[in-house]
Structure 1
């Protein structure tokens, strides 16, 4: 298996990790990058494999998110992130928020999807 999960799919475009992100390529890329970071930061071989399977489209993000090993990793990271966030001055937090909003905006598709095309988040 390559380090790049998209390569495991050959020339085929990877399926979105969440169907609702199919029209949000930057959010999809961010989610993939976040999973790669979590995978690379973990010493747990089984968890690394589970994340690789999700990235390669062999397993669902939902199943990963519901797993006890993933939840334990995320819980510890959330606790640490909240502590770090609380230490940031309010003015700096507001500036960071405004910058993130500006960077994350992706224009809507030329033809918005119809309700029939929207499968929902899960």
Structure 2
């Protein structure tokens, strides 16, 4: 995978379906980076770094390896950690996660580029076109 057209590999979404959701794309990229940095198998870490650089496709890596089994110890440890948390700790963790996601969306929204000159932003057009009764139809 070479990333989205015209985007640097470290900015392109890892999955094309996330092209229009930069905050979620950034969250996925961050998660894959954490997995690459802490992979229990050096070969898996290298594959994930290739995904991050755009040399490999995330779906292919996931489908073509024993990915779930390799990371089972990490998921089991996370589940065990949550099981020992109090309700207040869980709620605080949820709120922290929501805040981080909201901040990521705000940052993505602030850095999204406006349409190139000449391009019409359909959402903006429909938001600002006014009433049909006032149009010159």
Shift of 1:88: 0.7
Instruction: Quote the Cα distance in structure 2 between the aligned partners of 1:45 and 1:99.
Output: 31
Aligned ranges 1:45-60 → 2 under 5 Å: 45-60=42-57
Relative to structure 1, the CA distance from residue 65 to residue 34 in structure 2 (aligned partners, 3 Å threshold; closer, same or farther) is: same
Say if 1:102 and 1:112 are closer, same or farther in 2 by CA, change over 3 A: farther
Across the two proteins, how many residue pairs are aligned to each other? Answer: 103
Q: Is the 8 A contact 2:14 2:58 kept in 1?
A: yes
- Tell me: higher relative CO, structure 1 or 2? Use CA pairs within 8 A at least 6 residues apart: 1
Root-mean-square deviation over aligned CA pairs:
2.7
Gaps of at least 5 residues in structure 1 are: 1-10, 114-122
Residue 62 in 1 paired to residue 63 in 2?
no
Aligned to 1:29: 26
SS of residue matched to 1:16: coil
Structure 2 residue 27 is the aligned partner of structure 1 residue 39: no
1:94 matched to 2:100: no
**SS of the residue 2:8 aligns to:** coil
1:21–1:28 Cα contact (<8 Å) kept: yes
Task: State which of 5, 8, 13 in structure 1 corresponds to 2:8.
Answer: 13
TM-score by length of 2: 0.61
Q: 1:19-69 CA distances to partner (integer Å, 9 max, x unpaired)?
A: 232233232222222222212222523212211221111211111222434
- Matches of 1:23 and 1:59 in 2, distance apart? 21
In structure 2, what is the Cα distance between the partners aligned to 1:26 and 1:52? 20
